[in-house]
Amino acid sequence: MKVIACYSIKGGVGKTATAINLAYASALDGLRTLVCDLDPQGASSFYFRVQPSKNLKADSFFTRRDRLVRNIKGTDYPGLDILPANMAYRDFDQMLASMKKSRRRLSQILQSLSDEYDLVVLDCPPNISILSENIFHASDQVVVPIVPTTLSQRTFEQLVQFYKQSRLNKKELRPFFSMVEQRKRLHKEVRGEMRARYKRFLNSEVPYSVDVENMGVTREPVLATMPRSNAAVAFSQLWQELKILRQGKSDGN
Amino acid sequence: MEYERTWRVEESSLESSVWADIVNPFTLQLEQRVRNQYQLLDTFEGGIWKQGDMLLYNSISGHRGYELWKRADFLSGLPLTMAQEGRKKARFWWEFATQEGNPFQEQIKSACKLRALLEVHSFNLEKIRYAVKNEDLKSVAWLELITLRNRATDDVPESSRQFVRILPLRGYDHELKKLQKKIQQMGLPPCSDQWLEKYLVESGIEPSAYHAKPSIPIEADDPVRDMVLHYIRTLLDIARVNEAGIIEDIDIEFLHDYRVSLRKIRSILSLVRNIFSSEQTRWLKREFAAIAKRTNHLRDLDVYLLEQENYREMVPAALSDGVDELFTSLVAARKRELSRVRRWLRSTEYRNAIEKLQLSLAGEGEVLGVGDKAEQAVITVARREFSKKFHKVGKLGSRIDASTPDEEVHDLRIECKKLRYLLEFFGGLFSRKMQRGAVSTLKKLQDNLGRFNDLSVQQESLEAQLKAPDQKQPPLLAAVGGLIGALNHEQRMERARVTETFRQFYSAQTRELYAAMVSEGESEKTTVQSERSESRVKGDYNPGDSKEKRVKK
């Protein structure tokens, strides 16, 4: 089982859209896939029309596998399940801080699902916290959507710094450009600069798209509703790129 | 409470107010409509069906090809494996066009063996899938309407069957139960998960109906004449069921089963004596022998052609052109022989002969006369015959050493075969364990003797090739010569093993087993005793023996 996190310190960068489209592409490829909605706002859950988990408290999330499993729901797509979000997730940090091995808790609980799933996609809340550290430890790849603006550039640098300080493996950070507008000069400049600076940028770029915005209305992955749209093609390419990386990694083991 | 998952329905769509009411507060949304045109394929014996699988050929465009399903998973999971349609229609397991690494051939190999695949049944399957949506338009389950239509009786309305089944979605157990309960309340007849089997049975399809071995209930106290009559009648029916397959040349097992049935009839006629009048017994034997003889040559040729690959490997590459030529002529000979057998099976002469036999065997009364042993109890006859035959095998076998002439080895083989038929005929009188023990120990000896015999038959008929007056090309003659040499070598190797295989068969353990079978007080106790003696005998073995055996292997 592999774990991919869709993570960003900043909100509104297309993180959830990325998570659910990657998960959809994975299930389409025949991988048993679970989306784990860690964001208390529950955007992934909303996109899959799934109500929040009712009886899953923050503490049992990390300690009670049976309760967690009971809250998993099938989406409308074969091979794709979701663990919906819950407002109680706001207490994650407080919860984790009081636990032993507080940085490995997520990793542990996710590994207990490895006989059921081939891939877990984490949709993460936009902040940097003990939960984020858990996410970094648990993931094989941390996919970071970056809108090519100066501010995004800064927050990504903060993330890289955090990785350095925490002695995490920087190679697992996989930034890509999201909500790209070809006509904006700033977008072009930032992309050029950042690609020159960070070698591990993914090649795929997801354009800014009305179709992605409309996902809030259709409540389905754009890959399912408009598989030929520019955004869908970009997500599909992004998945292919990550898939190659995943295979490369597991072959190396 | 456990709820059903599948129900019989009459309608061809769920888009009705009735179903809207059933699923309320949920709604139905048509999601997918799939049509398949299936042919159910299996061997004459239903080998694939018996292994719990199902081989389907789908002829609908876009999905054309073969699908092998675990029957229990049909339409729920995915097929075990699939194979594409090749240029030629595949009839045998080795003819399926599969890519390297595709386990398709392997998965049907042991179920098919030498058997050809036949169309058992054709049906259309239509599947309409509806998502059951909640107020968020999220699916909470699926309902599938499945329509099966028998293509053979397309115009008959009753030939179609409809089922509704509910497919659960993870995390929506509550909604599932609610739906199940409401459907149940409609009073629809529930249907087991084996709805496809049910449909086939109702359409009169039973893929595994044929059994080459008759299974006849046997009672120790029954008069032996009735039992033998019943047995022979069943065997003759089995033989006759195979006639069509021989005529159509579907595969070579039809002829094989036909001949085995006749041979068993003839064996039982000689093994169990004085149950009909001696005149009638002679007549029966004569008739059955004459019928069996008609197919001897065709069977020999079948066995040859089976050996084709082995023959090629037996001779040096330089002789392979000759082997090709030999097989070309054998194929031609088989073709000629097949049409002769066909003509014979279709002839009035054959029909009259076999029907007369069937009529006499069916006669309840005195048609075949009543011999003086006719009323003896089955068990009495069984004990007597086992005792006689086992002693005879023992006597013949014990005499064999390296210098014994081949004829005596052949005699031993024939007696073993008779013992085997006795076991098949009377075996049901004894415990399963005894039966199995007796058969398995005998089988090893029979295999050895059988191979020895086959090799000698093959040499003889190759020698006949050499002596035949027709003009033959030097490469063919050279190949025949090479083959005879190789076969002779193999035969000597088989021959060298006979003494040892016999010794293993005629162990103290086997002797005790037969002693228990023929003694009056046959019971579970004797079985236990023979088990104990097994360990004792094993202890007596000279360790050098097993080493020798291993080297030979």
Taking one residue from A and the other from B, the number of pairs with CB-CB distance under 8 angstroms is: 26
Are B138 and A81 within 8 A, CB to CB? no
Is B59:B37 a contact under the CB 8 Å cutoff?
A: yes
Q: How confident is the model at residue A194 (pLDDT cuts 50, 70, 90)?
A: very high
Q: Let me know whether B427 and B296 are in one domain.
A: no
- Provide the domain limits for residue B533: 377-540
Give me the pLDDT at residue A118, please.
95
Pair B161, B243 in one domain: no
Choose among A50, A72, A81: nearest Cβ to B138: A50
What global pTM score does this model have? 0.78
Chain A nearest C-alpha distance from B378 (Å): 59
- Strand blocks (E) in B99-138: 118-133
Question: What is the rounded CA–CA span in Å between residue B81 and residue B90?
Answer: 16
Which residues contact residue B195 at a Cβ distance below 8 angstroms, ignoring those fewer than 6 apart? B6, B146, B161, B163, B165
A93 pLDDT exceeds 90?
no
Residues B461 and B406 in one domain: yes
Chain A residue whose CA is closest to B141: A76
Confidence (pLDDT) at B535: 38
What structural domains does chain A harbor? 2-245 (3.40.50.300)
Q: Per-residue b/e over B215-228, b at no fewer than 16 CB within 10 Å?
A: eeebeeeebbbebb
Tokens of A125: 């809340």
Which residue, among A45, A7, A44, has the nearest Cα to A129 in the 3D structure?
A7
Beta strand segments in B335-383, E:
none
Nearest to A33 by CA among A20, A15, A43, A51: A20
pLDDT at B474: 85
Residue B550 lies inside a defined structural domain of this protein: no
In a domain, B548, yes or no: no
- Asked whether residue B156 falls in the same domain as residue B280, the answer is no
Q: Are residues B39 and B135 in the same domain?
A: yes
- Domain termination residue (choose one: B376, B410, B425): B376
Contact B99, B186 (CB under 8 A): no
Q: In this structure, what token pair is assigned to residue B475?
A: 């490469």
Residue of B nearest to A84 (CA): B171
Q: Quote ipTM for the complex.
A: 0.86
Predicted pLDDT of residue B61: 83
pLDDT at B206: 86
Contacts of A77 in chain B (CB under 8 A): none
Q: Over the stretch B110-145, which tens digit does the pLDDT of each residue have? A: 999 999 999 999 999 999 999 999 999 999 999 999
What does the angle CA B288 – CA B265 – CA B451 come to, to the nearest 5 degrees?
100
| Residue B191 placed within a domain | yes
Instruction: Tell me whether residues A51 and B136 touch, CB distance under 8 A.
Output: yes
Which chain B residue has the Cα nearest residue A72?
Answer: B171
Shortest Cα distance from B143 to chain A (angstroms)? 13
CB pair distance less than 8 Å for B171 and A72 = yes
Nearest CA in chain A to B131: A76
Q: Are the CB atoms for B289 and B382 separated by under 8 Å?
A: no
Residue B343 covered by a domain: yes
Residues B136 and B232 in one domain: no
The candidate with the shortest Cα–Cα distance to B326, out of B127, B484, B168, is B484
Instruction: For residue B288, give the CATH number of its domain.
Output: 1.40.20.10
> Helix (H, G, I), strand (E, B), or coil: what is residue B68?
strand
Q: Are residues B411 and B508 in the same domain?
A: yes
Chosen from B78, B138, B167, B169 to mutate, greatest number of chain A CBs within 10 A: B138
B243 and B277 co-located in one domain = yes
Within this chain, do residues B180 and B250 fall inside the same structural domain, yes or no? no
Across the interface, do A49 and B169 touch by the CB < 8 Å criterion? no
Q: What is the pLDDT of residue B156?
A: 62
Question: How close is the nearest chain B Cα to the Cα of A201, in Å?
Answer: 36
**Which positions in chain A touch B172 (Cβ < 8 Å)?**
73-74
Residues B348 and B265 reside in one and the same domain: yes
pLDDT score for B500: 93
Domain count, chain B: 3
Rounded CA-CA distance B161/B202 in Å is: 10
**Chain A: closest CA distance from residue B166 (Å):** 15
pLDDT single digits (tens) A96-153: 888 888 888 899 899 999 999 999 999 999 988 889 999 999 999 999 999 999 998 8
Name the domain boundary from B352, B376, B400. B376
Using alpha carbons, select from B207, B204, B186, B201 the residue that is nearest to residue B8: B186
| Residue of chain B nearest A77, judged by CA positions | B139
> From chain A, which residues contact B within 8 Å (Cβ)?
48-51, 70-74, 76, 81, 219
pLDDT at A250: 43
φ and ψ at A243, to 5 degrees? -65, -45
| Same-domain pairing of B124 and B147 | yes
Nearest to A66 by CA among A113, A118, A122: A113
- C-alpha distances in angstroms, A148 versus A5, A176, A192? 20, 9, 9
CB contact under 8 A, A76 and B138: yes
The residue from B376, B407, B430 where one domain ends is B376
Q: Are B165 and B5 in contact (CB under 8 A)?
A: yes
Contacts for B199 with CB less than 8 Å, ≥ 6 apart: B123, B148, B161
Residue B136: which CATH number?
A: 2.40.320
End-to-end CA distance of chain A, in Å?
A: 13
Give the least confident one: A19-28, A86-95, B479-488: A86-95
Give the best residue of A68, A70, A76 to mutate against chain B (max B CB count within 10 A). Answer: A76
By C-alpha distance, the chain B residue nearest A46 is B136
Residue B529 inside a domain? The answer is yes
Mean pLDDT per 10-residue interval, chain B, length 553 residues: 80 89 94 93 95 93 90 83 84 88 92 94 93 95 93 70 92 94 89 82 84 86 92 95 96 97 94 92 95 94 89 87 89 96 97 93 77 91 93 94 91 94 91 91 94 90 82 83 92 93 94 88 42 38 37 35
- Determine, for residues B170 and A49 on separate chains, whether the beta-carbon distance falls below 8 Å: no
Q: What is the pLDDT of residues A208-230, one digit of tens each?
A: 999 999 998 999 999 999 999 99
- Residue contact A81–B170, C-beta within 8 A: yes
Question: Is residue B105 assigned to a domain?
Answer: yes
Say if B1 falls within a structural domain: no
- Looking at chain B, which residue has its C-alpha nearest residue A73? B171
- Nearest Cα of chain A lies from the Cα of B171 at a distance, in angstroms, of 4
pLDDT score, position B519: 87
Q: How many CB atoms lie within 10 A of CB A106?
A: 28
Terminus-to-terminus CA distance in chain B, angstroms? 59
Q: Which residues pair with B148 in a beta bridge?
A: B125, B161
What are the structure tokens assigned to B331, written together? 């194929």
Predicted pLDDT of residue A92: 83
Tokens 């979701």 belong to residue? A82
What is d(CA B476, CA B320) in angstroms, rounded to the nearest whole number? 9
Tell me if B152 is assigned to some domain. Answer: yes
Same domain, B354 and B388: no
Instruction: Identify the three-state secondary structure at position B167.
Output: strand
